[in-house]
Structure 1
Amino acid sequence: MDFHFKQVDSVESNQIAYILTCRTTRLRPARCTSHLDQIVMMQSADALREKHPVLSSRQIEGLIAAGQHILIIHQKVIRVDSWIPYHPGGHKPIQHLVGKDATDEFTVFHSEETQRLIDRYQIGRIEGRWRNFVPPIQGGQFRPYEDSLSDSKQTSTPGSQGPDTDNRLDPVLQAATDLNSPETMTFLDSETKKEISLTLTHYPPLDETTQSDIIKKYHLLHEQIQSEGLYNCNYLAYAKEFARCSLIFTTMLFFLHIEWYITSALFLGFFWSQLVFAAHDAGHMAITHNFTIDSLIGMTIAAPIGGLSLGWWKRTHNVHHTVTNLPEHDPDNQHLPFFAVNHRFLGNLFSSYHERLMPYTNAARFLVAYQAYLYYPVLMFGRFNLYIQSWIFLLQGQGPRKGLAWWHRWYEIAGNILFWTWFGYGIVYSSIPTAWNRFVFVMVSHMVTMPLHVQFTLSHFAMSTMDLGPGESFAQRMLRTTMDVDCPELLDFIHGGLQFQAIHHLFPRVPRHNLRRTQKLVLRFCQDVGIPYALYGFVGGNRKVVGSLAEVSRQAAILAKCQRTVAERGDLLYGH
């Protein structure tokens, strides 16, 4: 049946006209409602187009040049300046996505409920493929927008939008500072270029067609993971973990009671290690997928039971997931003076996370020379460093002060006080008789967590640390910078999901107990798009990490020799 409508100016007018037509033609209500919904949707879409105009890359560049935080999500231009103070994940991850298509990062990190809220920050839309800018925090240069200037071909046509080239200085030169001598920069630049060239030979090319194909197939993979129910949490598995941890803690108390202090300390360290896995899951909202509930679970495990701060961990970890393994930006890679995981640390590198220079001091020169030998001994003291970092974070109030997470700081401070009450006073001071036994108990219980710190570093220390530019897809970057550990399913409880870090980086909110099933899907994806999937046994992975650290030590020795040679030539030249 044909329907004829006069031109109307609003959705309401269309509704009235359509209802009258339905009555006069005696259409069935279901048919009427269906057609009415179509009209409302068409009118709503038109209204949205008028409300959110198409913005060109030059216009968006101008907004960023004016200091605004602009992201592209699902073809929508999102301005998040007003949201940043309330963002539970901190401001740094957002800053690293300014000027970029952040669809993948936003989708895998946030619940569907949160994703629906993003529309309130939309100021426009784009058409066609978006070409990423380098964010300001990473050295991106942005030009102010002038209305009188033409946008030429970048005015939101079906073609690609964005800068024609990397909108920053040569990434190799970006790390240079006045404190680096010319010979130092020449050596570091040469090593960087060699590593980039080597990396490019092992991974798919960075052209738009190839990377767009990877993105498209990554989206299909994500849809398959959702359709197979892999986001559904296995609560029975967590019940078993709770029972296991309770048994371990009870065993610790038993040996403490009969004065087997070293044995008791071993069980306490194992108890802490096992609990960390659940705290990690909660920090990613991978248990209930509810921010408040998972945060409460994670903070309760971390603070009153473990003496740590989940808020501090999330502040660093969210940045780590956004800029994985980039020396200048990833805090999980910045361990001077103890470790230099990349030759770039052999110069004076500026950390965008800590907002300060990381100088390559004399102490660093000495320690880096032996870092392959010091790797395991240093990690024995890793838990003590976590205490320090947690208290700095809490006392300085570095976490969110507004929004849903405003109360987290106070909960964690109270929790840490409770921890030092039951552990420091109740166990160490009151239950162990001598100073020496107390010292041994503390050291053993903390050093036994060393394998956990090995697991933390194993996934990334030996992987690529090169910045291949803003055109690399999220999926390729995560797989290029992350290693998985092959282990039998029987030992999954020992690794706690950390053996699937590459899978986890692709889909951070997938519950840990579903990662092994997810791995099979990711393997097929990697074969389809031609991205190598790094998978090593635990021993092989450790060998690769130690070998990588030794290689940086070798590079440090070569650099030191070059510097001495140049200095000696200078002395001869000037007669000193």
Structure 2
Amino acid sequence: MGDNSKKFISSDELKKHNKANDLWISFQGKVYNVTDWAKEHPGGDIPLLNLAGQDVTDAFIAFHPGAAWKYLDKFFTGYYLQDFQVSEVSRDYRKLVSDFSKAGMFEKKGHGVIYSLCFVALLIFACFYGVLCCDSFWVHMLSGGVLGFSWMQVAYLGHDSGHYQIMTSRGFNKFAQILTGNCLTGISIAWWKWTHNAHHVSCNSLDYDPDLQHLPLLAVSSRFFQSLKSHFYGRKLTFDYMARFFVSYQHLTFYPVMCVARVNLYLQTLLLLFSNRKVPDRALNILGILVFWTWFPLLVSCLPNWNERVLFVLVSFCVTSIQHVQFCLNHFAANVYVGSPKGNDWFEKQTSGTIDIACSSWMDWFFGGLQFQLEHHLFPRLPRCHLRKISPIVQELCKKHSLPYKSLSFYEANVWTLKALRTAAMQARDFTDPAPKNLLWEAVNTHG
């Protein structure tokens, strides 16, 4: 009798509610209307829009603790999904989440945060000491490298604080986010959350994942040559002559571009903070950015001449580029697709779009846990100290369901990435007919 009193809709009917002004989603077969709440969603509206009109149970479980379920009741439409089904791989995935939760793994964060904070403080002190108290050119350059290395470690702390609470309270955790992101690196935590949540939900979708949208400088797939529309940025990624020129040599320019990639992150931060978009804690984020753009220029100005100042900045950027390269290695050579993410193949999409970096356990601090990229994508709330422990379990589950588990050495991952970039570069050179014989000549004469 209870079932007869329920109201049902089909998956096809649910798909019709997939717009910003009519946004329905399903959790565990129950249908919710989150249209008005999407803008208030702590993770931003992009993840909800990308998964609109679908059952998104796996994604919800991945990003939210069990306590979050109670907040859904006020959005319940009264409808249930008539053809709701759970695949075997989703059942196994949800069981793993449940097992990890019962074991308290999401709450047990170890002492990594304390060690990392102390290490970062030591690095920053060493950098300031080298700049302010030494006259040697080489000490100044070494200090720039130390600063770049500290930015790498700070970024891992900011990443962790954005995914789960690394401090004792939400207030202190927000303070850690602003400190590590805005104040120490000049990159807004609000910008990071905006892009990173979209990346997790739409992992390696060419038109939905912002982490793959780097035209005109880079294109990981020839499908970008069709001038795809970015659903994240809301504009066309135009593949014009200039983009074609840069992409044609991207396997040669990849590392130089990574050395100055930080400049783009600063620019993206400013564009978001001073845009018309709703930005959580906008004033606090702007204040944090002002702190960075106060202490960093002052530190650089303490160097004796402009040659050393420019080289100091370049050295710090080049060292930090190791981390930018690492992030590219995790995804650039993995499988890609065009289209919106689907809620019913969460596990499959994460395994397809990620590559782990194999390393010894004593190197875990260097990669910040993100060498276990698949494990992190499947369980983003899981503290990094557990990722190595669960890796064999994830491998077994992938093997059980005949899904890929790609793990490469740092060197191998670089080779794979360069091969992927070179393949797209060669395709870019032959994309149009007739193909220019000298792309450098064409770019200079076309654009001046």
TM over 0.5: yes
2:422 is the alignment partner of 1:543: no
Q: Flag the 1:269–1:500 CA change in 2: closer, same or farther, 3 A.
A: same
Asked if structure 1 preserves the Cα contact closer than 8 Å seen for 2:331 and 2:353, the reply is yes
Q: Flag the 1:554–1:58 CA change in 2: closer, same or farther, 3 A.
A: closer
What secondary structure, in the 3-state scheme, does the structure 2 residue paired with 1:113 have?
helix
> In the alignment, what sits opposite 1:491?
363
Q: Distance in 2 between matches of 1:101 and 1:65?
A: 15
TM superposition shift of 1:92: 1.3
2:9 counterpart (46, 52, 55)? 55
2:197 is the alignment partner of 1:318: yes
Alignment-mate amino acid for residue 86 of structure 1: E
Deviations 1:67-109 (A, max 9, x none): 4101010111010011112112221110111111100111111
2:226 is the alignment partner of 1:353: no
2:295 is the alignment partner of 1:422: yes
* Identical-pair percentage: 31
Greater Cα shift, 279-288 or 303-312:
279-288
Asked if structure 1 preserves the Cα contact closer than 8 Å seen for 2:110 and 2:385, the reply is no
Q: Distance in 1 between matches of 2:107 and 2:429?
A: 51
TM superposition shift of 1:521: 1.4
Deviations 1:366-386 (A, max 9, x none): 111111111111000011111
What secondary structure, in the 3-state scheme, does the structure 1 residue paired with 2:334 have?
coil
> In the alignment, what sits opposite 1:556?
428
2:255 is the alignment partner of 1:376: yes
2:319 counterpart (448, 455, 472)? 448
2:43 is the alignment partner of 1:89: yes
Asked if structure 2 preserves the Cα contact closer than 8 Å seen for 1:285 and 1:291, the reply is no
* Larger Rg over CA atoms: 1
> In the alignment, what sits opposite 2:242?
363
Alignment-mate amino acid for residue 416 of structure 1: I
Alignment-mate amino acid for residue 399 of structure 2: Q
Asked if structure 2 preserves the Cα contact closer than 8 Å seen for 1:55 and 1:124, the reply is no
Deviations 1:337-380 (A, max 9, x none): 11011111112111111111111121111111111111111000
2:134 is the alignment partner of 1:258: yes
Q: Distance in 1 between matches of 2:155 and 2:325?
A: 14
Deviations 1:423-449 (A, max 9, x none): 112x112x2122222111112112211
1:239 counterpart (109, 114, 125)? 114
Q: Distance in 2 between matches of 1:82 and 1:513?
A: 37
Runs of at least 5 residues in structure 2 that lack an aligned partner in the other structure: 438-448
Q: Distance in 1 between matches of 2:19 and 2:289?
A: 42
> In the alignment, what sits opposite 1:110?
64
> In the alignment, what sits opposite 2:286?
413
Q: Flag the 1:472–1:480 CA change in 2: closer, same or farther, 3 A.
A: farther
Q: Distance in 1 between matches of 2:258 and 2:252?
A: 11
Asked if structure 2 preserves the Cα contact closer than 8 Å seen for 1:233 and 1:288, the reply is no
> In the alignment, what sits opposite 1:526?
398
TM superposition shift of 1:125: 3.2
Asked if structure 1 preserves the Cα contact closer than 8 Å seen for 2:354 and 2:373, the reply is yes
Q: Flag the 1:213–1:562 CA change in 2: closer, same or farther, 3 A.
A: farther
Runs of at least 5 residues in structure 1 that lack an aligned partner in the other structure: 1-44, 131-159, 161-210, 566-576
> In the alignment, what sits opposite 2:179?
300
Alignment-mate amino acid for residue 411 of structure 2: V
Q: Flag the 1:350–1:89 CA change in 2: closer, same or farther, 3 A.
A: same
TM superposition shift of 1:296: 2.7
Q: Distance in 2 between matches of 1:299 and 1:262?
A: 28
Q: How many residues align?
A: 432
Deviations 1:140-168 (A, max 9, x none): xxxxxxxxxxxxxxxxxxxx6xxxxxxxx
> In the alignment, what sits opposite 1:507?
379
What secondary structure, in the 3-state scheme, does the structure 1 residue paired with 2:432 have?
helix
Deviations 1:32-89 (A, max 9, x none): xxxxxxxxxxxxx96x996x63334455355558941010101110100111121122
Alignment-mate amino acid for residue 406 of structure 2: A
**Any residues of structure 2 matched to 1:172-187 within 5 Å, and which?**
none
Asked if structure 1 preserves the Cα contact closer than 8 Å seen for 2:202 and 2:209, the reply is yes
TM superposition shift of 1:127: 4.8
Q: Distance in 2 between matches of 1:480 and 1:79?
A: 30
TM superposition shift of 1:232: 2.4
Q: TM-score, normalized by length of structure 2? A: 0.91
Alignment-mate amino acid for residue 253 of structure 1: F
2:211 is the alignment partner of 1:332: yes
Greater Cα shift, 261-270 or 59-68:
59-68
Q: Flag the 1:220–1:345 CA change in 2: closer, same or farther, 3 A.
A: same
Alignment-mate amino acid for residue 269 of structure 1: G
**Any residues of structure 2 matched to 1:67-78 within 5 Å, and which?**
67-78=21-32
Q: Distance in 2 between matches of 1:62 and 1:467?
A: 20
Deviations 1:308-353 (A, max 9, x none): 1010011011111111111111111000111011111112111111
1 or 2 for the larger relative contact order (CA 8 Å, sep ≥6)? Answer: 2
TM superposition shift of 1:560: 3.0
Q: Distance in 2 between matches of 1:308 and 1:62?
A: 38
Q: Flag the 1:563–1:79 CA change in 2: closer, same or farther, 3 A.
A: farther
Asked if structure 2 preserves the Cα contact closer than 8 Å seen for 1:381 and 1:447, the reply is yes
> In the alignment, what sits opposite 2:446?
none
Q: TM-score, normalized by length of structure 1? A: 0.71
1:126 counterpart (75, 80, 93)? 80
2:89 is the alignment partner of 1:214: yes
TM superposition shift of 1:235: 4.1
Q: Flag the 1:66–1:279 CA change in 2: closer, same or farther, 3 A.
A: closer
Greater Cα shift, 470-479 or 413-422:
470-479
Q: Distance in 1 between matches of 2:76 and 2:390?
A: 33
Alignment-mate amino acid for residue 462 of structure 1: A
Asked if structure 2 preserves the Cα contact closer than 8 Å seen for 1:330 and 1:353, the reply is yes
